[in-house]
Chain A
Amino acid sequence: MTKVRALSLTLAMILFAVLIGILVGHQIVIKKGIDQALDPNTTESMAIEVAQLIKDNQDLRKKRDILIDERDKFLNQSTNRRAAVEAVNSNIDEYGIIAGTSQVTGKGVAVTISHEMALTQIIDLVNAIRNSGAEALSINGRRIVASSGFTANDLQKNYRLEIIGNPRVLADALERKGGILDQITNGQVEEKDGLVLPPLGA
C-alpha cells in the first residue's frame, strides 16, 4: 500500500514538473514573439527591406522585358543578323555609360556645395547618390565610376556634382529632411535638363 502511494506521488510530481515545463516554455515563446513584433527596430528594418525589394523587383521586371526583346533579336539572327548586331551595339552603348568610357547626356540634378567636406563625407555622399538611383555622376568635372576612389587630395572648398537619373527622385532623396545633405553638409539641389558628363580621364 505504501509502495503504491509512493509511486502515485512520484507520478504526480513528474506530471507536475512536465506541466510547469510546458507552461514556462509556452510563456517564453509568446514573450519572444511579442517582443519581436513590438520592437520598433525589427519593424523598421523590415519596412526598409520591403521597400528595397519592391524597387528591386520593379527593376528586375524592367530588365526581364529588355532581355526578352534582346533574346528575340538573337533568336532570329539566322534570318535577321542586323537585329542581333544592333542588340550588341545597344549593349556596348549601355555598358559604356556604366563603365564611364563614353560622354553621357541626360536629365538629372546639379548639386552645389560651397564649403570643404571631410573625406568620409564625400564617401557617404557618393554612397547616398548611388542609393538614390543615379545612372551617371561627375564631381567638379571628373566622371565618377564604380572604381573611383577619393583621397585627401580631392578635398576642396567648392563642389559641383552633376547626376543623371530621375530628377524628381534624386532631388527628393537628397533634399528630404534627415536625408544625406541634411546629415552631412548643406547643398543646393537643382533639377536640370541636358546635363553633359565627360568620359573617364577627360
Chain B
Amino acid sequence: MGVLVTAQVRSIKTTRALNPLSPYAALRDTRISLGTENKLLSGANKSLSDEISASEKELKQTEYSNRQKVEKSDELKKQIGLMPLAGEGIMVTLADADNNIADSNSIAHAADMRDLINLLWSSDATAISINDQRIVATTSIDCIVNTVMINNVRTVPPFDIRAIGDRRRMAEAVNNEKNLPDIHTRVKNEGLVFQVTEQKKVEVPAYSGTFIVEYAK
C-alpha cells in the first residue's frame, strides 16, 4: 500500500516537463489535424472528379471526335489505376507468424511486398492492390518502424494482396521457391503466413491518391 501511495504521489509531483513528452504530444495533435484535413481534401477532390466524369459523359454525346477523346482518356485512366478493375487473378495473404515471440524473420516486411509485387508485374499482372491501396506508378512501399506505408497510407498486417491477370501463371510464380526464396524460407522455418489462392474474380479498387505532373512534359 505504502509503495503504491508513494508511486502515486511521485507521479503527481512530477510537475517539470519531460522533454520527450512535448514533441510526442505535438506530433500526435498535428497528425490528428493533418489527418482530418487529408480526409476533407480527398473527399473534395473525389467530388470534383465525379463532377468532371459526369461532364465528360455529357461531352461524349456531342461529336464523334469528342467521344473518341473521352474514350481514350477513359482507357488511359484504366491503365494508370484511376478506375477499379475486376477479373480473374490471385489473392495472397502475408502476415506475421502466429508465434508468441516475434523476431525479424517471423514478421511481414515492406521488402517482402516489394519483392512480391515485382514478381507479380513480371508475371503480367494487370492490376494490383495491397489492403485496398492500388499500386500505381508513384507507389512506394516503405517500412515505418512497425507499420507499412503504401501511397502515404499507414497499414498493418495481415496484408491482403490482390492481383488481376492469368491466375495460374501468377500462382505458379509466387509459389515457386526460387522466385521468392527469402519469404519461402521464413514460411518453413519461422511460420510466416503466406497463403496464395487462385480466384475467378478479384476486385481491385481505384487509386484514391493524387498524381501531380509538374516537371514532365
Contact = CB atoms under 8 A, between A and B. Distances in A.
Interface stretch (B43-51, B84-92, B99-107, B193-201): B43-51
A4 to B, nearest CB: 25
B140 A127 contact: yes
A60 interface: yes
B24 A42 contact: yes
A97 B66 CA distance: 21
A44 B145 CA distance: 8
A156 interface: no
B56 A147 contact: no
A10 B27 CA distance: 49
Nearest to A130: B140
A106 B217 contact: yes
A57 B38 contact: yes
Contacts, number: 223
Given A38-B20, A99-B76, A67 B141 contact: no
Interface in A124-146: 124, 127-128, 130-131, 134-136, 145-146
Given A50-B27, A60-B41, A88 B70 contact: yes
A81 interface: yes
9 contacts: A53-B35, A67-B52, A70-B48, A71-B48, A85-B69, A87-B52, A95-B76, A95-B82, A146-B137
Interface of A: 16, 20, 23-24, 26-27, 30, 34, 36-38, 40-50, 52-57, 59-64, 67-68, 70-71, 74-75, 77, 81, 84-85, 87-89, 91-92, 94-101, 104-108, 119-120, 123-124, 127-128, 130-131, 134-136, 145-151, 164-166
